[in-house]
Chains A and B, each alone.
Chain A
Amino acid sequence: STSSLLSAEKDKSTASKGSTTEGASKRQEGTAETPKQKLLDLIGNMKVEVSYRKKLQELKASKNNKQDMNALEGPDREGPQRTTEGIQRGKPLNPELVKAASAVASSLPLNKKKTESELLAQLRRHEETTDKQKKGETINIRNVISEMAVKKQSPALRGVRISISLELDDDGQRIRPERFSSQSFDSRSLKGGKRLNIFTKASTEPEHALKTVSSPTIWDLEFAKEIAAITAQPPRNGFEEMIQWTKEGILWEFPIDNEVGMDDGAEFHEHIFLDKHLEGFPKDGPIRHFMELVICGLSKNPYLSVKQKIEHIEWFEKYFEEKKEFLQEI
């Protein structure tokens, strides 16, 4: 299959290139070339008549270039073995590769640390691209086929065909031809197609993150209110009127939530087991009896919040504290 062909090509290329005596400058030129080469490949692909074989050859050529890069970096070791090892490893770099890179850097006359870091960066990039290629090869071929299919028909005919296909097929069976046609559409659309990687992604940094004042001043609030009052247009239709009413609080929000103002986030056990609030009361006597009844009633009350219940109990505590001397007399 194609993968075996490519591996064979790899071996040939590494064997032929072998050890080279290029310096860091050549390597840098090489790094600049591969994106350019990629661009050229893509521009070449965009031509009208492209045969399948030529595409494969171009893919192989791009692969070979990458292999050359790898070969340049490690002339001492065996090329294909290392690359396969690297690919098998995945994301973290092979320590052998790292050692090789450091050896190469030391052997070169120029700035050693710089070259070593550059080499390692190159290695990482290379591994990333090889991984991507390994995973994305089938998809590329699919794109190629779809592109070719589009080019064979004229756009007018294609539009007619798709419309006919949409008309004829009913709801359930529309999926298949539409998917194919949508794929062909995508290859022409803005977002589909191979990424050229010409532009670096503009990092949307939160530059204005800490620009706001800690608390808005009264003047800011007034200004905001003024703006809101000026820009508030009278509602154009019933929907906008209802929206306005909902914002004001005149109209409830649908679907109706029965616990709109009531949910205080307390669990059921906080509502029911109120014994722990009874610690301030005497253990015996009519007061305790009375308070237990109070707690029994409060635990059955679903309309009060836990805070309100605790406030009730605390009020009773305070009240009985005040009346303590009076109670002692009795």
Chain B
Amino acid sequence: MAAAALGWALRAARQVLPSPCPGQVRSYYVDWRMLRDVKRRRLAYEYADERLRINAIRKNTILPKELQEVADKEIAALPRDSCPTRIRNRCVLTSRPRGVRRRWRLSRIVFRHFADHAQVSGVQRAMW
């Protein structure tokens, strides 16, 4: 697991993996914050099962409290970035943390830009 993490970090380092598509290729993430967010997402995916199980032990009334305290300590010992609450849904193109529409994963400014150029399918200027 450590080797895999190292490999990923080396390969990432602000770079996106080479994609086979012939269109526009962005060879870097937009900024470091976006890269950190990507790392958090990856770790959250890896530790998701474990977190779920430990939380199942913690959040019930049947098991003895001592066991639950031990579980508390265990979950705190996991890497901090494995927590899913630390993930921020940033804009995919500009890495803007606020004003992001979840359906398109774009910030409001980018979304407006593309919608006006008729590059977002099914989106039209509202008029009623």
* Chain A residues with a Cβ under 8 A of chain B: 248, 286-287, 289-290, 293-294, 311-312, 315-316, 319, 323, 326-327, 330
Contacts and interface: CB of A to CB of B under 8 A. Distances in A.
Interface stretch (B38-46, B61-69, B82-90): B61-69
20 contacts: A290-B57, A290-B62, A290-B63, A293-B60, A294-B56, A312-B49, A312-B53, A315-B49, A315-B50, A316-B53, A319-B57, A323-B67, A323-B70, A326-B66, A326-B67, A326-B70, A327-B64, A327-B67, A330-B64, A330-B66
A52 B126 CA distance: 84
Closest 8 CB pairs of A and B: A286-B62, A290-B62, A289-B62, A330-B64, A286-B63, A290-B63, A330-B66, A315-B53
A74 B96 CA distance: 101
A319 B66 contact: no
Contacts of A330: 64, 66-67
Interface of B: 20, 49-50, 53, 56-57, 60, 62-64, 66-67, 70
A281 to B, nearest CB: 13
A294 B57 CA distance: 10
Q: Which of B20, B49, B67 has the most CB of A within 10 A?
A: B67
A1 to B, nearest CB: 75
Contact of A293 (B20, B50, B53, B62): B62
A193 B56 CA distance: 78
A294 B49 CA distance: 14
A185 to B, nearest CB: 51
A214 to B, nearest CB: 30
Contacts of A323: 67, 70
Contacts of A315: 49-50, 53
Contacts of B70: 323, 326
Contacts of A327: 64, 67
A319 B53 CA distance: 10
A143 B44 CA distance: 78
Main secondary structure of the interface of B (DSSP, over half): helix
Contacts of B53: 312, 315-316, 319
Given A312-B53, A315-B53, A319-B53, A290 B66 contact: no
A286 B64 contact: yes
Nearest to A286: B62
Contacts of B57: 290, 319
Contacts of A286: 62-64
Given A286-B63, A293-B60, A319-B57, 11 more contacts: A286-B64, A290-B57, A290-B62, A290-B63, A294-B56, A312-B53, A315-B49, A323-B67, A323-B70, A327-B67, A330-B66
A326 B20 CA distance: 54
Contacts of B62: 286, 289-290, 293
Contacts of B56: 294
A290 B64 contact: no
Contacts of A293: 60, 62
A221 B89 CA distance: 40
Contacts of B63: 286-287, 290
Q: Which of B50, B63, B70 has the most CB of A within 10 A?
A: B63
Contacts of B49: 311-312, 315
A314 to B, nearest CB: 11
A312 B114 CA distance: 44
B43 to A, nearest CB: 19
B34 to A, nearest CB: 23
A227 B62 CA distance: 63
Nearest to A229: B20
A130 B7 CA distance: 78
Contacts of B50: 315
Contacts of B20: 248
Nearest to B50: A315
Contacts of A316: 53
Contacts of A294: 56
A149 to B, nearest CB: 62
